[in-house]
Amino acid sequence: MSDLLITNVDVLTNEGVLKNHAIVIENGFITAIVKDSEVEKAKESAKGVLDGKGQLATPGLINTHTHIAMGLFRNYADDLELMDWLETAIWPTEAKLNDEYVRYGTQLGIAEMLRSGTTTFSDMYFFMNTTAEVVKETGIRAVLSRGLAGVSPTADQALVENADLFRTWNGFDNDRIKVLLGPHAPYTCPDAYMEKVIALSHELNCGIHMHLSETKGEVENVIKATGKTPIAHMHDLGLFWNTTLAAHCVHVTDEDMDIMAEYNVAVAHNPQSNLKLASGIAPVPEMITKGITVGLGTDGSASNNNADMLEEVRLAATLHKARLYDPKAIPAQAAWNMGTVEGAKALGYTDLGVLSKGYRADIVLYDVSGMHWMPRYNDLAALVYSANSSDVNTTIVGGKVLMKDKVLLTIDEEKLRAEITKAQAYFSN
Ligand SMILES: N[C@@H](CCSC[C@H]1O[C@@H](n2cnc3c(=O)[nH]cnc32)[C@H](O)[C@@H]1O)C(=O)O
Ligand SMILES: [Zn+2]
């Protein structure tokens, strides 16, 4: 007996779109995708049935890099480059954060993501135990890391918190939550601190999530100090022994990319944030050619300024075409894969990001009745080049329905609005 049956739906698979099919879900996994006519009987015994008529089922999008509670600072400080933005605007304001604000900031981000078709996010922030609680309550999937800045007065305490986060939450609910260590960046983590992070990663057998080679200035400073690029330097320190998720990698050399390929360093490409902070454009087609796994991320909503992954998929598909004067630089399918299955791989999931038997049932239903969906020559191209994230009608994670007919079932949006309005007043002072 299935836990959930999605009937009458068009299903985006690796073999193309299967029209008028049914998706059978048991224990959080897809157990079959069959013609709708074959599930007539099963409809009676299923615990739940969702009618997918007029909708397109796709895998949920995977946001491989964000600081989700930063939605609190959306449109708070714009038109600055990274170091200015962090030092003059963001860090002083983040100093006023506490568990309560992070709770509502996280809810805000999760509400936005579920509404726009994202079912997994990878986060680096602080007050992460609260973030984990909100992830647990809301039902989304998340890979969490406690941001670790060696230059902070609380640097050693942060390591203890990240270790506690790992011990408490890693593997929760059949890997609905996983935990990484989050050394922030080369410019906030001196070598002696990185050595502590690496020692802890060995002790826990834990992966790493770090900002690397985001700006020209960062790379120049690391070269000045060590004679090596940030990637080469981190490699020499021994950072890449386990799994590593490197955010940005905008300014990487050919040799850097060889190291990344050899040590399975996966990349979180954040095109919108890189454009807005004037960081540059990462050499993504070159990375893919080298065999590096590249997923997509929004980065925080204060440098984007939203958590809409469909925008990142579209940018990934278009940006590199223009940079290289090559319309095939990142084809639609490659951009979609980066937003789904490649992002899943970057986060260490081998059974996520595709609608197929045996995969996790993280599924989004798009309402395809809008004029911008007509005509329907190619639904994949429509998702990458024409869809709106507001077309998302239903969002499912691990077989649980978290949004149905555009109503969030695990978040009280009325209360959330009131709390965010209060937070705005607090951060405005
Ligand atoms: N400094 C914190 C922990 C850092 S959390 C991760 C940090 O990354 C910051 N951040 C957001 N976007 C970016 C980015 O694009 N590059 C580098 N840092 C960023 C964010 O504002 C946050 O401070 C503490 O006191 O313990
Ligand atoms: Zn970031």
CA distance 400 to 415: 23
Q: Which residue from 66, 73, 162, 184 has its CB within 8 A of the most atoms of ligand 1, so it is best to mutate?
A: 184
| Binding-site residue ranges for Zn(2+) | 65, 67, 211, 299
Q: Does residue 65's CB lie within 6 angstroms of at least one atom of ligand 1?
A: no
1 pLDDT more than 90: no
45 pLDDT more than 90: no
Q: Which ligand is closest to the CA of 81, given by its number?
A: 1
Q: What is the pLDDT of residue 318?
A: 98
Peptide bond into 375 cis (omega under 30): yes
Mean pLDDT of the chain: 98
Three-state secondary structure call for residue 27: coil
Query: Does the predicted TM-score (pTM) go above 0.95?
Result: yes
Q: What is the pLDDT of residue 44?
A: 86
Taking only the tens place, the pLDDT of each residue in 53-85 is: 999 999 999 999 999 999 999 999 999 999 999
Quick one: which atom of ligand 1 is closest to the CA of 303? 12
429 pLDDT more than 90: no
Q: What percent of the chain has a predicted confidence (pLDDT) above 70?
A: 100
Taking only the tens place, the pLDDT of each residue in 12-26 is: 999 999 999 999 999
Q: Does residue 157's CB lie within 6 angstroms of at least one atom of ligand 1?
A: no
Contact 67, 300 (CB under 8 A): yes
Q: Does residue 303's CB lie within 6 angstroms of at least one atom of ligand 1?
A: yes
> Shortest CA distance to 218 belongs to which of 239, 249, 192?
249
Q: How many other C-beta atoms lie within 10 A of the C-beta of residue 134?
A: 22
36 pLDDT more than 90: yes
- DSSP per residue, 368-399: --SGGG-S-S-HHHIIIII--GGGEEEEEETT
Q: Which ligand is closest to the CA of 246, given by its number?
A: 2
Q: What is the pLDDT of residue 43?
A: 87
| Matching residue, tokens 């959080």 | 28
Return the residue whose CA atom lies nearest to atom 22 of ligand 1. Answer: 125
What are the distances in angstroms from CA 102 to CA 75, 171, 177, 423?
Answer: 17, 22, 18, 10
Taking only the tens place, the pLDDT of each residue in 222-260 is: 999 999 999 999 999 999 999 999 999 999 999 999 999
Q: What is the pLDDT of residue 239?
A: 98
Contact 164, 206 (CB under 8 A): no
CA distance 372 to 36: 26
Q: Which residue from 70, 83, 86, 298 has its CB within 8 A of the most atoms of ligand 1, so it is best to mutate?
A: 86
Return the residue whose CA atom lies nearest to atom 25 of ligand 1. Answer: 152
| Matching residue, tokens 């506490």 | 98
Q: What percent of the chain has a predicted confidence (pLDDT) above 90?
A: 98
Q: Which residues have CB less than 5 Å away from ligand 2 (the ion)?
A: 299
**Type of residue numbered 71:** G
For residues 150-174, give the mean pLDDT. 98
Q: Which ligand is closest to the CA of 297, given by its number?
A: 2
Taking only the tens place, the pLDDT of each residue in 335-386 is: 999 999 999 999 999 999 999 999 999 999 999 999 999 999 999 999 999 9
Q: Does residue 149's CB lie within 6 angstroms of at least one atom of ligand 1?
A: yes
Q: How many other C-beta atoms lie within 10 A of the C-beta of residue 44?
A: 8
Q: What is the pLDDT of residue 243?
A: 97
Q: What is the pLDDT of residue 260?
A: 98
Whether the complex's predicted ipTM is more than 0.95 is answered with yes
CA distance 342 to 355: 14
Q: What is the pLDDT of residue 42?
A: 86
Task: Give me Rg for the CA atoms of the chain.
Answer: 21
CA distance 307 to 298: 6
Helices (H) and strands (E) in the chain, counts: 18, 17
What are the distances in angstroms from CA 340 to CA 56, 235, 295, 402?
Answer: 16, 28, 8, 19
Q: Does residue 363's CB lie within 6 angstroms of at least one atom of ligand 1?
A: no
| Matching residue, tokens 């790379």 | 219
Q: What is the pLDDT of residue 291?
A: 98
**Which contiguous run of DSSP H or E holds residue 145?**
strand 141-148
215 pLDDT more than 90: yes
CA distance 319 to 316: 6
Q: What is the pLDDT of residue 395?
A: 98
Distance of CA 138 to the CA centre of its chain: 16
How buried is 207 (Cβ within 10 angstroms: 0-12 exposed, 13-18 middle, 19+ buried)? buried
What's the length of the chain? 429
Contact 297, 63 (CB under 8 A): yes
Peptide bond into 162 cis (omega under 30): no
CA distance 148 to 183: 4
User: CB within 8 A of 82, min separation 6: which ones?
Assistant: 214, 215, 217, 277, 279
